[in-house]
Structures are given as structure tokens and as C-alpha cells.
């Protein structure tokens, strides 16, 4: 875990140091050659886009690849899973694992891969365009896309929790008194998606606590870690973008801080989208584990 955070710090922090140094360089060049200042700004945007947006782009492609591979995996194993569920008979009815829920969870991934992530890419490009060419602003468009995406993702997660509570067999301990302060902390300190994060983590947790009777706590926590590492990484990177924007605001061009801030906001939405993927991954993994357990124990 420590080395994992160190890698993120290494790649992301070094590129932000580059932003700060290059801002100083642009300040010096502006002082020496005031007639060149228009181009200095452009070149600074060049440096920012090439060097600093690399982590953001990597995260976007990472989440896109994960969504693609999970949706492919789902399409290939869904018939097998449902067939074996039918073969297993009524043993599933007590577990509240419906095939409809599986279809819904993974349908959300297909939705993510086909619509949500391309839209998010669009928001990123709109932001860049409106910063590079201030005469043609698309900021409202980008904001609209982001809020729409966040709304869609929250709706899907709300639908998850409705699905789960309709069955009613599973309840979760994290909703208890002890975790309320933590939830409140997350809700207030993570911008844009804080309350969404606590809600969706509650939804995921409600499932896995019911399943831990069957799958064992260590296995559950392993699945949780694997599923949530991309989201966590994205969240940390998004925070770095906003911190750097705040740090260089006094002396940098407004465009540069604006770009960093916008990218940070887009990454927060990407983090929310990746929660959707994590949920579907956890659900499918638990489902397969319980299926295998049931089949082996029935012999």
C-alpha cells in the first residue's frame, strides 16, 4: 500500500513540480520579452498539456480499458452464470442474488463504456478548447456534461440500493453509529462527489457483508481492494490537480490554473464512474465465488 502511494506521488508530484517551475520560467520570459507574452502563454499551455495532463489521460484510458474488459468478461460469462444458477435450483433465493441484478450491474458497465466515458472525454476536450481559445468558450457545456454524468451515476447507484433493499435479506453494519463521523468527514471534504462516495460504499458494503458468511472476510477484502484501487488512485490524482491549481494561483496565468482545476473536476467525476465499475466487479466476483461454493458443497 505504501509503495503504491509512493508511485502515485512520484509520477504525479514530479509533473506538478514541472508545472510550478515552468510557470516561473514563463514569468521570467514574460519580463524579458513582453512582446512575446502571447506566445509564452500558448507554450506554457503546451507544456501543461503534454507533461502534466499525462496522468489524467492515463487514468481516463485506464478506466476505459477496465470498463471495456469487464464488459467483455460479463458478456462472455453471463450465459454460463445464469445457466448454472438454474442448475443450482432454489438455493439462490435465500441469498437475494437475482440474475436481473447481475444484468443490471453489468448493463451499467456497458453504459459506462459506451456513453459515460466518451462523454467525459468530451468534457475534457471542451475544457481544453475553452481555455486555449478563450474566444470560443465551452465551459457551460463541459459543466453540463459533468453534472449530467454525476446525476446518471448517482441514479444508477440509487437503483442498486433499491434492488438490494427490496430483497431485504442483507443489511450492513457500516450504517451504524460508529461510522457516521467518518461518512460525514468524507462527505464534507471530498468536493463534488463526497456524499455520492459514502452512499455507494454503503451500497457495496451492504452486499459484501451478506456474502462474507459464504466467501470469508479476507477474500472479500481482497476483492474490495482490487476493485477500489483504480478509484482510489483517480481520487488521489484529482486532489493533486486541485492542490496544484491552488498552489500556483498567485503567480500563474489564470488559464493554467483553470485548466488544472477543470481537469481535477473531470477526474472527480471519473472517480464516481469508476465506483460504478467497482461495484459491478465486486458483484460479479462475489456472485461467481458463491456459485462455486454452492456447487461444490452440493456434491
Partner 1 sequence: MVIDDGLMIILVQSIVVFLILLLISFSVPKLQPLLYAAIFFYFLFHLLNTIVFPFGKYFVALFEPLPEPFAKLLIGSAILFYVSELIAKHISEAGYGSLASMTHFAVKIAILTLWMQQTATLIDLLSKLITK
Q: What is the spatial distance between Cα 43 and Cα 210, in angstroms, rounded to a whole number? A: 55
- Is the CB of residue 263 less than 8 Å from the CB of residue 48? no
Contact stretch for partner 1 (CB under 8 A) within 122-130, 163-171, 187-195, 277-285: 122-130
Q: Nearer to partner 1 by C-beta: 68 or 293? A: 68
Question: What one-character DSSP code corresponds to residue 299?
Answer: -
Q: Nearer to partner 1 by C-beta: 29 or 186? A: 29
Contact stretch for partner 1 (CB under 8 A) within 39-47, 148-156, 182-190, 237-245: 39-47
Site pattern 126..155 for partner 1 (x: CB under 8 A): --x---------------------------
- Shortest distance in whole angstroms from residue 12 CB to partner 1: 15
Can residue 123 be called a binding residue for partner 1 (CB under 8 A)? Answer: no
Among candidates 114, 118, 141, 119, which has minimal Cα distance to 129? 141
Q: What is the spatial distance between Cα 45 and Cα 254, in angstroms, rounded to a whole number? A: 11
Site pattern 67..106 for partner 1 (x: CB under 8 A): ----------------------------------------
* CB contact set of 289 (below 8 Å; sequence gap of 6+): 211, 214, 215, 219
- Is the CB of residue 259 less than 8 Å from the CB of residue 296? no
Q: Nearer to partner 1 by C-beta: 33 or 251? A: 33
List for the chain the helix, strand, coil content (%; round to 5): 90, 0, 10
Can residue 43 be called a binding residue for partner 1 (CB under 8 A)? Answer: yes
Can residue 33 be called a binding residue for partner 1 (CB under 8 A)? Answer: yes
Per-residue DSSP letters for 245-256? HHHHTTTS-HHH
Residues at the contact surface with partner 1, assessed by CB under 8 A? 17-18, 21-22, 25-26, 28-29, 32-33, 35-36, 39-40, 43, 46-47, 49-51, 53-54, 57, 60-61, 121, 124-125, 128
Amino acid at each position: 500500500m505504501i509503495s503504491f502511494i509512493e508511485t502515485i506521488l512520484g509520477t504525479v508530484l514530479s509533473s506538478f513540480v514541472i508545472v510550478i517551475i515552468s510557470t516561473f520560467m514563463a514569468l521570467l520570459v514574460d519580463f524579458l520579452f513582453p512582446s512575446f507574452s502571447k506566445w509564452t502563454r500558448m507554450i506554457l499551455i503546451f507544456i501543461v498539456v503534454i507533461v502534466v495532463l499525462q496522468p489524467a489521460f492515463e487514468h481516463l484510458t485506464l478506466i476505459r480499458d477496465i470498463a471495456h474488459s469487464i464488459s467483455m468478461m460479463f458478456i462472455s460469462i453471463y450465459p454460463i452464470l445464469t445457466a448454472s444458477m438454474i442448475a443450482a435450483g432454489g438455493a439462490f433465493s435465500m441469498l437475494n442474488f437475482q440474475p436481473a441484478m447481475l444484468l443490471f450491474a453489468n448493463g451499467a458497465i456497458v453504459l459506462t463504456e459506451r456513453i459515460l466515458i466518451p462523454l467525459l472525454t468530451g468534457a475534457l476536450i471542451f475544457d481544453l478548447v475553452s481555455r486555449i481559445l478563450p474566444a470560443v468558450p465551452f465551459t457551460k457545456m463541459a459543466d453540463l456534461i459533468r453534472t449530467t454524468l454525476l446525476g446518471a451515476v448517482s441514479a444508477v447507484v440509487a437503483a442498486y440500493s433499491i434492488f438490494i433493499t427490496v430483497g431485504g435479506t442483507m443489511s450492513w453494519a457500516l450504517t451504524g453509529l460508529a461510522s457516521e463521523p467518518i461518512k460525514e468527514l468524507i462527505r464534507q471534504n471530498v468536493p463534488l462527489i463526497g456524499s455520492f462516495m459514502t452512499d455507494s460504499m454503503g451500497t457495496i458494503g451492504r452486499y459484501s457483508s451478506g456474502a462474507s458468511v459464504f466467501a470469508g472476510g479476507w477474500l472479500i477484502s481482497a476483492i474490495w481492494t482490487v476493485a477500489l484501487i483504480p478509484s482510489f488512485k483517480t481520487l488521489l490524482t484529482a486532489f493533486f490537480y486541485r492542490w496544484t491549481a491552488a498552489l500556483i494561483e498567485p503567480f500563474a496565468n489564470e488559464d493554467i490554473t483553470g485548466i488544472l482545476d477543470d481537469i481535477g473536476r473531470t477526474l472527480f467525476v471519473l472517480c464516481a464512474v469508476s465506483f460504478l465499475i467497482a461495484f459491478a466487479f465486486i458483484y460479479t466476483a462475489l456472485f461467481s465465488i458463491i456459485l462455486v461454493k454452492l456447487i461444490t458443497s452440493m456434491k
